[in-house]
Amino acid sequence: SQQGEEDPQALSIQEGENATMNCSYKTSINNLQWYRQNSGRGLVHLILIRSNEREKHSGRLRVTLDTSKKSSSLLITASRAADTASYFCATASGSARQLTFGSGTQLTVLP
Amino acid sequence: EAGVAQSPRYKIIEKRQSVAFWCNPISGHATLYWYQQILGQGPKLLIQFQNNGVVDDSQLPKDRFSAERLKGVDSTLKIQPAKLEDSAVYLCASSPATGGTEAFFGQGTRLTVV
């Protein structure tokens, strides 16, 4: 079953604009992670935010986590054509810290 | 450092045939995951190993899927017999310690069942 649901399902923006993707989940978590997947490739880890953290930055990425609303957002600033990919949130929960993925947001950055 | 290796990259089989996928995780990684990703969807966890023990296989269709992790290193995932709905990309990933930490993914095996 999918733990997280991303919103929107698809997003198209111009190069240089910011892109925001949202993730909602259902159960309590240990941490939440964001991954990127280019077409036909494996997933690449972007950033991890622990359940006791509210915001985290990494380069052009900013992640927020609101555990009371069971939601997270990923902001990519000053987007580039190379950022075109699918983005997935994944929650780590359960006794074995199972990593459960959402349905993803397809981001297209137009040059 | 070498990444997660998977083989084959592509496989086409007829329904009711059997197929096996192989995964070699990053050296020293204790946790190994197998995911199924159907086109247009997010990865679905099939099975999670901690060293050579299974810690979660709740979503593995055990009547047709099986997996093992040999000596806590390499892993194989088998489907027997395959159904049309098994067409998907099968992704292997590993993490250095316990589950829930950063996962490193292989390129996946794209299975087409005809």
Which 3-state string (H, E, C) describes chain A? Answer: CCCCEEECCEEEEECCCCEEEEEECCCCCCEEEEEEECCCCCEEEEEEEECCCCEEEECCEEEEEECCCCEEEEEECCCCHHHCEEEEEEEEECCCCEEEECCCEEEEEEC
Top-confidence residue, A2 or A55: A55
Among B56, B91, B107, select the one facing A98 at the smallest CB separation: B56
Contact A98/B99, CB-based, under 8 Å? yes
Among A44, A96, A101, select the one facing B99 at the smallest CB separation: A96
pLDDT above 90: percentage of residues in chain A:
82
Per-residue pLDDT tens over the stretch B6-42? 999 999 999 999 999 999 999 999 999 999 999 999 9
Query: Whole-angstrom distance between the N-terminal and C-terminal Cα of chain A?
Result: 36
Mutate to test the interface with B, among A43, A47, A50, A63 (most CBs of B within 10 A): A43
Does residue A97 have a pLDDT over 80?
A: yes
Top-confidence residue, B74 or B100: B74
Which residues of chain B lie closer than 8 angstroms to A41, CB-CB?
Answer: 107-108
Contact A98/B98, CB-based, under 8 Å? no
Nearest CA of chain B to the CA of A101: how many Å? 6
Does residue A93 have a pLDDT over 70?
A: yes
Note the pLDDT of residue B13.
Answer: 98
Note the pLDDT of residue A8.
Answer: 93
Does residue A21 have a pLDDT over 80?
A: yes
